[in-house]
Every structure is written in C-alpha cells, then in structure tokens.
Amino acid sequence: MTPHDWLDKLHKADTNAFAKALTLTESSKEEDQQILRDIVKLCANKGKALRIGITGVPGVGKSTFIDELGTYLCNDLHKKIAVLAIDPSSSKSGGSILGDKTRMEKLSRNERAFIRPIPSRNQLGGVASGLADAILLSEEVGNDIVIVETVGVGQSEVEVCKLVDIIIFLVLPNSGDDLQGIKRGIMEEVHVLVINKNDGEHQTAALKSKMNLDTILQIMPSPIEHEKREVFLCSSTENKGITELWKAIELLAERMKNSGVLVERRKQQQQELFQTLLQKNVIAQFYKQQGVEEKIKQLSIEIEQGRLDAYSAVKKVL
C-alpha cells in the first residue's frame, strides 16, 4: 500500500490496518521504518488525543486499574481509547510475555477500546523506541484518549514522561514507611497520585498513606508551577474513586491547555525525542563504519587478557 492508502484505512478506523501499522513501529528493518516515516509525515491528527501515562511499581495493579478506568471512559463517557501497554522483554531473546491484555478482561471485549502490548526490548529505559509513533498512529484512527502503561521498573517511569501529557502514579496502601522508597525523580514528574487497592482490610493503611503523601507533596516541586497535586483513593476491584479521579484529570487537562502548559510540554517532548533519536542513530552509524566491529572485538580480547583497560580501549576505538 502507498502511504495514502495506509492513511485512508486508518481514517476509516480499520483495526487490522492499525495493528499492522503498529507492527511497523516495532520493526528494525529499514524498509519498514521508511514506510512508517512516510505514513507519520501525512498524519493530520497529531496531538489531538489526551495522552495519559500510568506507572507504578510491579504488583500495584496497573492493568486492573486501566481495565476499570478504560471501561468507565468507554461506557459512561463514550470515549474511544487506545491502551499501549509496554511489556517487559527478554534481554537475551527479545521475546515478550504480552500478558496485559489477559488482565484487562472487560476492556479487551469493549468495541470502543484497542489494547496493544508493546515489547520494551530494553530500549529507552524500558519504553519502546517506537512508542512516539504508536501514539501518533493511535490519534490518527480517532482515539480520544491514549493510555500508556509503563513497565514500572528502572528508568521507564521517567522516560514515559517525555511522551505523554499527564502522569498518574499508582502506589500500594502501606504503613507509610515504604513511601520513603519512592524515587524522588518520578515523584517530581507525576501530576496525579493514586493509592490503589483501597478496599477491605487495606482501607486504614490507604488513608494513612494518603496523609503521608499529602505531606510529602507539600515539600516537593510540582511538574506544573503553582499546580497543587492531589492524592486519590481508588479500588479497581470495587470500582471506587474512578469517577472522581477522572473529573480531576479532565480539569487538569483543561487548565494545562488554557495556560499554554500543554503546548510547551509537547514542544519539549519533541526536543527530548530528537535528542534520543539523534543519539540512537549516531551510535548505529558509528558501528556501521568499516572495521569498527573488528577493532572492538580485538580490544575486548586485550581487556579480557588484562593487557588494556576499558578507558584506553575506548580512546583507541574513537
């Protein structure tokens, strides 16, 4: 198909074409990347969807939370949504478990929702390198909201901030001591905090955690100047707090839009993406130079034998 053929199918919300286009974002083949670049250049709906990033430690219940939130958006608000679930990949084989779809039982059956697990392949700190294009394609098929679920480990939480408008950070109910383990870096990036699993015997702990987080947020800078951050209590299993949470997100998105913060944020995201892609391509071009790989192999042997240190080896390669 020509790029215009692709766009025509995407504008008709052709699910098969959308899925195949997303596959192009995961491909490392030059011909696939060229097709993708031609499609993206023609995209007319860039930036029209609200982009939400959802992150948190493993086991916090991100997929179940998205299942409830997404179902509410589709059924009650009649929104069309895409969920891009970044999935942990094997560092050896590159294989991906792709299990998030099975944990979003209601949403996976909803006609207004599209769920796509994307293998991270250990790129961009756990976030797939083609995620920016995947978001643009998701907007092109007419989705009102694009939800990105991160791996929840390493730098992925911070990296996804460069690609979305609003970050929701999920934490578990606890005594309050465990909150000290939350990295300051991500705490300064998130816009909304949610204490998930606020049900049953966890409700007292959840309330205590909320009080602690409210105190912590008072002394931490917000990603948006003069914008006070809120902490919400939610339960995915009992569907509690979802409506109130989304109302707050809508108001925040409106304030960001009216104040010009959203436009500036997206400009900064493009700059971050430019730097990331530049570094990636410069490294790729470097390794393609004749004799580089052989030189590196030779120096690696010398390092292994103790005849050369790593710093000197790098200097020799350059």
Domain check: are 237 and 303 in the same one? no
Domain check: are 52 and 151 in the same one? yes
Q: Which residue, of 210, 229, 259, is where some domain finishes? A: 259
Predicted TM-score (pTM) of the model is 0.87
Nearest to 170 by CA among 245, 104, 261, 220: 245
Asked if pLDDT for residue 315 goes beyond 90, the answer is yes
Q: Over the stretch 235-270, which tens digit does the pLDDT of each residue have?
A: 888 888 999 999 999 999 999 999 999 999 999 888
Helix (H) or strand (E) holding 284: helix 261-288
Q: Which domain holds residue 288?
A: 274-317
**H helix runs in 90-202, sequence order:** 105-108, 131-140, 156-160, 184-187
| Beta carbons within 10 angstroms of residue 37's beta carbon | 12
* Predicted pLDDT at 175: 44
Q: What percent of the chain has pLDDT over 70?
A: 86
User: Rounded to a whole number, what is the distance in angstroms from the first to the last CA of the chain?
Assistant: 42
CA distance 260 to 277: 26
- Residue pair 173/231 in contact (Cβ under 8 Å)? The answer is no
Asked if pLDDT for residue 294 goes beyond 90, the answer is yes
The amino acid occupying position 245 is L
Nearest to 246 by CA among 88, 48, 79: 79
In a domain, 36, yes or no: no
Domain check: are 172 and 282 in the same one? no
Q: Over the stretch 120-164, which tens digit does the pLDDT of each residue have?
A: 665 544 455 688 899 999 999 999 999 999 876 556 566 777 789
> Cα torsion for 7, 102, 86, 192, to the nearest 10°?
100
